[in-house]
């Protein structure tokens, strides 16, 4: 059996209620997420349920795109996201493995690709 150990998140940002600062869907701390490095990211709801897992060569622009893009799998559920966790993973093969593993182990609610479990 293969043992996969997911790295600890390098950055966790949470949604603010009625933020006074500039924000995207209530998130004011996007500046904490690197724009130059690659990795994986996880979106959670207020009950800490995994909603979506993704990977990117450049994390901040990719995560922001999920909140701006009209084709994002979470476009109808953006308001549901209350926490974003980011793990720096530079190796593209490792990113692919972690993403697929997290989608299936965490039963990510809105991932459509790489799903090997059945939604209830």
Using CA atoms in the order 109, 110, 116, 120, what is the torsion angle rounded to 10 degrees?
Answer: 40
Q: Considering the entire predicted model, what is its pTM?
A: 0.92
pLDDT for res 55: 97
pLDDT for res 118: 64
Phi and psi angles of residue 44, each rounded to the nearest 5 degrees, phi first:
-125, 155
Tens-digit pLDDT profile for the chain (120 aa)? 789 998 999 999 999 999 999 899 999 999 999 999 999 999 999 999 999 999 999 999 999 999 998 889 999 999 999 999 999 999 999 999 999 999 999 999 999 888 887 655
pLDDT for res 107: 93
Measured from the Cβ of residue 105, the count of other Cβ atoms closer than 10 Å reads 13
Q: Return d(Cα 35, Cα 38) in angstroms, integer.
A: 8
Phi and psi angles of residue 98, each rounded to the nearest 5 degrees, phi first:
-60, -45
CA distances to 4, 117, 118 from 63, rounded to whole Å, are 24, 25, 26
Q: Domains plus CATH for the chain?
A: 11-106 (3.40.1440.10)
Nearest to 67 by CA among 35, 95, 33, 43: 43
């Amino acid at each position: 059996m293969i043992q996969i150990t997911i790295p600890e998140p390098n950055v966790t940002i949470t949604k603010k209620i009625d933020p006074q600062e500039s924000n995207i869907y209530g998130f004011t701390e996007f500046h904490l997420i690197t724009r130059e490095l690659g990795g994986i990211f996880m979106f959670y709801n207020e009950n800490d349920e995994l909603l979506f897992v993704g990977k990117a060569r450049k994390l901040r622009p990719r995560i922001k795109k999920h909140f701006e893009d009209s084709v994002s799998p979470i476009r109808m559920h953006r308001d549901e996201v209350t926490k974003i966790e980011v793990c720096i993973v530079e190796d593209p093969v490792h990113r692919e493995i972690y993403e697929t593993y997290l989608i299936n182990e965490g039963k990510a609610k809105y991932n459509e690709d790489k799903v090997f479990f059945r939604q209830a």
